[in-house]
Amino acid sequence: MTTLGIAITGSGGSTPNTRLDNDTLSQIVETSDEWISTRTGIRQRRLASPEMSLSELAAAAAQEALEMAGLSPSEVDLVVLATSTPDDLFGSASRVQHRIGAPQAVAFDLTAACSGFVFGLVTVAQFLRTGVYRNAVLIGADILSRWVDWSDRRTCVLFGDGAGAVVLQRTSPEDDGLLGFELRSNGAQNGCLTLDYSHRSHALVENLEVSQGNYSRIAMNGQEIYKFAVKKVPEAIEKALFRANLTNEDLDWLLLHQANQRILDAVAKRLNVPSEKVISNLARYGNTSAASIPLALDEAVRSHQIQTGDTIAASGFGAGLTWGAAIVKWGGAA
């Protein structure tokens, strides 16, 4: 069977209007702008209001991506929502499908935390490359502010809310925009970053109990995550480059999950990628989990920083632990 190609033809982004800067955050927890910015590179983050839904954010980003691609929602065959914070534990992709007016599309959620967008990109590509679907919308969206412990300065300073999306379209093999990828998981380190289920026993009848409860709050071992990221992310990118028959010097841009500026700098240094090729919007949005890569991509495209035909190494990493890299070309004919 002939393997077809994919083209990334549109991008979009959406963030809440409410900004929480470091000075204001210091009124909530013992910290300061200097402490946060020097350790993370973050200056502010966006927070969703109590009334805002994840589906609303995700749909807004998807609509922008469809508009850029010049694609009608009725032409969309597939909607994949990468998120760890759905409105409904059963999933929110179908809500997004309805919001954007894509009744013909099949929709499902994908959960891989901060790696979700890269995992979603590779997943969607398989449906297009095999000819099953022609047009897809991939969204990364999270509202982590609802699961942050606002008394824990190690984590509450990091996270923000947002959504980013891309349109992926089937194309000819010679125009394939996914040049190589590498996906990895290591459950042995799962405890380094968690949002665990917290339960209590509930007796139904004598000698019969079930568990009932809710999810707790984000907990993270920051030192272990840092060590994991600066070692594993360059390895994944190098393997993806090898599969693409490219080298570091062929890259126009390095687009990493926006977790911490120190991680971005360390990974770029290990790969010998100059700082001017590293895309970062971390200072304005913080860590938006699955949204961070497509949100930064969209800003770079709309500011004409990324041009059609540019080669990008995108890499996500986080809870699971999961990590992955994809070498892609921006734009192209569908």
User: Which of 114, 156, 192, 281 does the annotation list as catalytic?
Assistant: 114
Q: Which amino acid is at 130?
A: T
Instruction: State the Cα angle at 287 between 289 and 227, rounded to 5°.
Output: 90
Can 114 be counted among the known catalytic residues? yes
Alpha carbon distance 60, 66 (integer Å) = 10
Alpha carbon distances (Å) from 66 to 135, 172, 301: 10, 20, 14
Q: Put the strands of the sheet holding 161-171 in their side by side order.
A: 5-14, 161-171, 135-143, 78-82, 106-110
CA atoms of 57 and 162, how far apart (whole Å): 7
- What are the tokens at 146? 């609802």
Cis, bond preceding 321 (omega within 30 deg of 0) = yes
287 part of the active site: yes
- CA–CA dist 7, 182 (Å, integer): 19
Cβ–Cβ under 8 Å, residues 258 and 287: yes
Q: Which of 22, 192, 257, 260 is catalytic?
A: 257
CA gap 243, 250 in Å, rounded: 13
Q: How many CB atoms lie within 10 A of CB 70?
A: 10
Please say whether the beta carbons of 105 and 76 come within 8 A: yes
Q: Is 78 left (phi over 0), alpha (psi -120 to 50) or beta?
A: beta
Determine the residue type at 307. Answer: Q
* Marked catalytic residue, from 22, 260, 281, 287: 287
**Residues noted as catalytic:** 114, 257, 287
